Chain A
Amino acid sequence: MRKMLAAVSRVLSGASQKSASRVLVASRNFANDATFEIKKCDLHRLEEGPPVTTVLTREDGLKYYRMMQTVRRMELKADQLYKQKIIRGFCHLCDGQFLLPLTQEACCVGLEAGINPTDHLITAYRAHGFTFTRGLSVREILAELTGRKGGCAKGKGGSMHMYAKNFYGGNGIVGAQVPLGAGIALACKYNGKDEVCLTLYGDGAANQGQIFEAYNMAALWKLPCIFICENNRYGMGTSVERAAASTDYYKRGDFIPGLRVDGMDILCVREATRFAAAYCRSGKGPILMELQTYRYHGHSMSDPGVSYRTREEIQEVRSKSDPIMLLKDRMVNSNLASVEELKEIDVEVRKEIEDAAQFATADPEPPLEELGYHIYSSDPPFEVRGANQWIKFKSVS
C-alpha cells in the first residue's frame, strides 16, 4: 500500500501539466512491478545462461518505453529530413536505411539497461540510437545529421561519427570498431575498475578477418569485452545465407562462449546483457552475444529494401515482432501502465522530436573559419592549406 501511494505521489509531483487524463491516471492502482517470461537463449560453451523470467518495474518500463519511442521517432524524423534533402550523404537508420534503428530500438535501450554509465560502448555506423542511449540529446544528434554547428561533433562528423562520454562512435569502416572495442576493454582491465566494453558489429561485418584477430587477443588476454553481433539478417543487400558459411554468429567466436538472444524483446536483451556483463566483470574473459533483430527498411536511404526480399516478409515481422508493441502490450496487460499514459508519452516524445528537428533545421552551419579546426589535440594554433596556396585556414585544437 505504501509503495503504491509513493508511486502515485511520484506521478503527481512529477506532472507539471495537470490534464484531466493525468489526474485519472494518478488515481488508478498500478502494479509496481510484474514478472515476465522471456525466451531462453541458445548457448555456446556455457553451462547456464541468463534467467528465463525477469521482473520489470513500472518505473523502468516507462523509462524504456519512452527511450524506445524517442529512438524510433528520432529515426523516422531523420528519414523524413533525408527525403527532404536536409540531411545529406549516408543515412543508416535503425530501421535500416540511413543507418536508422527501427526495430533495433530494443537493442540499444536493452543493452544500456544491462550496463552502467561507466561502462563503454562502441558500434559501427548504425549509431544514432546508441548515441542517444549513451546520453546525448536528440537535438545534438539531429543537428549533427543536418550538419549544423549545434551538432554533437560540431558538424564535422555527420551520421557516422558521433561521440559521447564512454561512447566511441559511430565508425564508418565496418569491422574496424571491433579491435577498437577490444582495446577499450584492455584499458578497462589495465585500469582495474571492473568496467566492461560492449563492442557491436552487424551480421555483414561479422565476416571481417580483424574481428577474429580481436577474438583471439581478447580471449588470450581475458579482456572484459562483450562482442555483440546485431544480426538483422541482411548485410546491405546480401542475406546472411549468401554471406556466411556459418550463420550461427554466436558460435563464431569458437573458444569464446556465446549466447543467441531475441533482439526484439527488450527484456531479453537486458537480461542477456546483465548476464554477459557479470561474466566479464568476474574476470573470465570475453563473451559473445548475437542479437536477432530485423531491419524494416533497406540498408540505407538509397535502398528501398525490396529487391532482395519480399514485402510479405517485411510485413510479417512488422506485425508480429515490433519491440515497442511488445513492451506496450506487456505493460498494459500487467497493469504496469495504461494505454492513455503511454499515449501521453508518445505525445511528449513527438513534441521533443519536433522541437529538436526545428533546431536542427534552423541552426546555422559551422562557420567556414572553423574548417581547419581539430586537426591536432593540445597543440598551439597553426595554418592549414585550403584548395589553393592562397587559401589558408586557421587550425585550433
Chain B
Amino acid sequence: MAAVSGLVRRPLREVSGLLKRRFHWTARAALQVTVRDAINQGMDEELERDEKVFLLGEEVAQYDGAYKVSRGLWKKYGDKRIIDTPISEMGFAGIAVGAAMAGLRPICEFMTFNFSMQAIDQVINSAAKTYYMSGGLQSVPIVFRGPNGASAGVAAQHSQCFAAWYGHCPGLKVVSPWNSEDAKGLIKSAIRDNNPVVVLENELMYGVPFEFPPEAQSKDFLIPIGKAKIERQGTHITVVSHSRPVGHCLEAAAVLSKEGVECEVINMRTIRPMDMETIEASVMKTNHLVTVEGGWPQFGVGAEICARIMEGPAFNFLDAPAVRVTGADVPMPYAKILEDNSIPQVKDIIFAIKKTLNI
C-alpha cells in the first residue's frame, strides 16, 4: 500500500512508465488508481493531445485544485492552459461557453455543482440549446465538471445532487462516473465530444482506489457516452444506480448473495442519453427492478427510469412494481446521525430489494 501511494505521488509520466514495467514483469499486476488520479490522468492526456483544450475554474491552477484533482497540471501546462478564476461562476461559465463557441475546447470546473446553480443559465441557455436554435450552425464543445451530490458534514447548501436537473435538458449530455475506470474513460470522451457534457463527479469517491484494467492505461481509452455497464451479473433482480451508490449496491448484492439472492447491478455511467436498452434487457431477464440514487425522490433519475419501464417492453415482464431508493426528501442536515439517514445506505437497498422480491 505504501508502495502504491509512493507511486501516485510521483509525476504521472514516471508512474505510467513504472506501471507498464510492473505489469510486464509480474503475472497479474493489480494496478490501483484512485478516482482523483484517474480524472487527472484523463485531463492531462487530453491537454497534451489537443492544443485547444484548456481548464478553468476556482483554484484549479496554483492551488492544484480545491480537491487536488488538477494537481500538477498548471506546473506542466502553464497560465495559458490552466486558468484560475475569481469567484464568478456565472461570468466564468459564460466565458468558457463563449470560448467553446469560438472553437476552443474548455473544461469548466465548478468547485461543487451546488455553485453551478449560479451559472445554470449559461449551461442550459447558452450551451445546451445553441446547436438546436442555430439550426446546426453553432456547436459548443464544452465540459462542465466537478463534484456533485452529498459529501460528509457539509450541510444543505453544499450537498445537492444535480443529476435530475441537468438530465432534464435536451442538448446536454450528462455522465456520472462511479470508479476510476469510469472517471478516466468518461472525462476523455466528454472532452472529445463536440457537445456540452456535464460530468458529475463525487467528492467522497476521489480518494478511493480501484483496480485499473490494462486497457484503461492507454492514452486512447474512452468509455462511450450513453452506454451503461453491468457491474455484476444476476438473475433475481435488477438494481440500477449511478455514482457512489453503485458501490453500495454491490455491497448489498454481496450480502444478499449469501442468502441465495443474485442481484444484477447496473452502473448507468450516463444519465443523459440514458441507456434504457441495457436496463430493459436486464428487467426482462430478472422481472424485478430497484433504482438507487443519492438525489431527491421527486422528479429524480429513478422516477424517469420507472416511467420509461412502464412505456416499454419490460413492463410486461415485471412481477412486482418497480421500486426507488433515493436520498431523503429533506435539505441535507448536518448532524452525523441525520446525514447518514438522509442518503441511501446498504441496509436501505437490501430492504428495498427484499420487499420487491417479497422475502
A186 touches B95 (CB 8 A): yes
Min CB distance, A101 to chain B, in Å? 21
B94 touches A214 (CB 8 A): yes
In the assembled complex, A187 has its CB within 8 A of some CB on chain B: yes
Min CB distance, B273 to chain A, in Å? 7
A184 touches B98 (CB 8 A): yes
**Set A182, A184, A191, A376: member contacting B195, Cβ < 8 A:** A376
| Additional pairs, 11, CB under 8 Å, beyond known A173-B126, A179-B122, A375-B170 | A153-B135, A156-B135, A179-B98, A197-B102, A210-B91, A214-B91, A217-B86, A217-B88, A221-B83, A377-B136, A397-B136
B80-100 vs A, Cβ < 8 Å mask (1 yes, 0 no): 100101101011111111111
**Set B91, B100, B121, B137: member contacting A216, Cβ < 8 A:** B91
Min CB distance, A397 to chain B, in Å? 7
A176 touches B170 (CB 8 A): no
Within 8 A of B (CB), among A115-162: 120, 122, 151-157, 161
Within 8 A of B (CB), among A216-234: 216-217, 220-221
A376 touches B131 (CB 8 A): yes
A153 to B138, CA, bound (A): 10
A148 to B96, CA, bound (A): 32
B60-92 vs A, Cβ < 8 Å mask (1 yes, 0 no): 000000000000000000001001011010111
In the assembled complex, B311 has its CB within 8 A of some CB on chain A: yes
Q: Which residues of the other chain, B, contact A161 by a CB distance below 8 angstroms?
A: 133-134
Q: Which residues of the other chain, A, contact B97 by a CB distance below 8 angstroms?
A: 179-180, 183
Min CB distance, B119 to chain A, in Å? 9
In the assembled complex, A253 has its CB within 8 A of some CB on chain B: no
A377 touches B139 (CB 8 A): yes
* In the A-B complex, the 7 residue pairs with the closest CB atoms: A183-B98, A179-B94, A213-B91, A154-B135, A187-B102, A180-B98, A153-B135
A172 touches B125 (CB 8 A): yes
A373-388 vs B, Cβ < 8 Å mask (1 yes, 0 no): 1111111001010000
In the assembled complex, A258 has its CB within 8 A of some CB on chain B: no
Q: Which residues of the other chain, A, contact B121 by a CB distance below 8 angstroms?
A: 173, 176
Given contacts A213-B91, A384-B170, contact A156 B133 (CB under 8 A): yes
A156 to B136, CA, bound (A): 9
A178 touches B99 (CB 8 A): no
In the assembled complex, A305 has its CB within 8 A of some CB on chain B: no
- Which residue of B has the minimal Cβ distance to A178? B94
Given contacts A155-B135, A377-B131, A377-B136, contact A220 B99 (CB under 8 A): no
B194 touches A179 (CB 8 A): no
A374 touches B126 (CB 8 A): no
Given contacts A153-B135, A172-B125, contact A183 B88 (CB under 8 A): no
A190 touches B131 (CB 8 A): no
In the assembled complex, B132 has its CB within 8 A of some CB on chain A: yes
A210 touches B195 (CB 8 A): no
Within 8 A of A (CB), among B163-188: 170-171, 173
B125 touches A376 (CB 8 A): no
**Set A216, A375, A389: member contacting B132, Cβ < 8 A:** A375
A214 to B91, CA, bound (A): 6
Give the interface size class of chain B: 35 or more
What are 12 of the A-B contact pairs (CB < 8 Å)? A163-B134, A179-B91, A181-B98, A184-B99, A184-B101, A186-B95, A190-B80, A213-B91, A375-B170, A376-B131, A378-B139, A378-B194
In the assembled complex, B19 has its CB within 8 A of some CB on chain A: no
In the assembled complex, B333 has its CB within 8 A of some CB on chain A: no
Within 8 A of B (CB), among A324-341: none
A376 touches B171 (CB 8 A): yes
B91 touches A186 (CB 8 A): no
Q: Which residues of the other chain, B, contact A384 by a CB distance below 8 angstroms?
A: 170
A377 touches B133 (CB 8 A): no
**Set B95, B103, B171: member contacting A182, Cβ < 8 A:** B95
**Set A156, A187, A214: member contacting B103, Cβ < 8 A:** A187
Given contacts A182-B94, A213-B90, A216-B86, contact A153 B99 (CB under 8 A): no
Within 8 A of A (CB), among B217-269: none
B102 touches A152 (CB 8 A): no
A25-65 vs B, Cβ < 8 Å mask (1 yes, 0 no): 00000000000000000000000000000000000000000
In the assembled complex, B318 has its CB within 8 A of some CB on chain A: no
- Which residue of A has the minimal Cβ distance to B87? A213
A186 to B93, CA, bound (A): 13
In the assembled complex, A168 has its CB within 8 A of some CB on chain B: yes
Given contacts A184-B101, A217-B95, A375-B170, contact A156 B85 (CB under 8 A): no
Q: Which residues of the other chain, A, contact B171 by a CB distance below 8 angstroms?
A: 375-376
A190 to B193, CA, bound (A): 21
Min CB distance, A337 to chain B, in Å? 37
Q: Which residues of the other chain, A, contact B162 by a CB distance below 8 angstroms?
A: none
Q: Which residues of the other chain, A, contact B273 by a CB distance below 8 angstroms?
A: 382
A179 touches B139 (CB 8 A): no
- Which residue of B has the minimal Cβ distance to A187? B102
Given contacts A179-B122, A186-B99, contact A210 B90 (CB under 8 A): yes
A157 touches B135 (CB 8 A): yes
A151 to B136, CA, bound (A): 12
In the assembled complex, A287 has its CB within 8 A of some CB on chain B: no
A179 to B104, CA, bound (A): 15
A157 touches B133 (CB 8 A): yes
A163 touches B95 (CB 8 A): no
In the assembled complex, A169 has its CB within 8 A of some CB on chain B: yes
Given contacts A213-B91, A375-B132, A377-B194, contact A153 B137 (CB under 8 A): yes
**Set A151, A169, A210, A379: member contacting B94, Cβ < 8 A:** A210
In the assembled complex, A209 has its CB within 8 A of some CB on chain B: yes
Q: Which residues of the other chain, A, contact B134 by a CB distance below 8 angstroms?
A: 153, 156-157, 161, 163, 169, 374
A197 to B98, CA, bound (A): 11
Given contacts A161-B134, A168-B101, A186-B99, contact A213 B92 (CB under 8 A): yes
- Which residue of B has the minimal Cβ distance to A172? B125
Which of A151, A156, A377 lies at the interface centre, i.e. has the most chain B CB atoms within 10 A of its CB? A377
B128-161 vs A, Cβ < 8 Å mask (1 yes, 0 no): 0001111111110100000000000000000000
A4 to B273, CA, bound (A): 66
A172 to B129, CA, bound (A): 11
Q: Which residues of the other chain, B, contact A273 by a CB distance below 8 angstroms?
A: none
Min CB distance, B109 to chain A, in Å? 15
- Which residue of B has the minimal Cβ distance to A162? B134
In the assembled complex, B110 has its CB within 8 A of some CB on chain A: no
Min CB distance, A175 to chain B, in Å? 9
A163 to B101, CA, bound (A): 11
**Set B94, B138, B139: member contacting A183, Cβ < 8 A:** B94
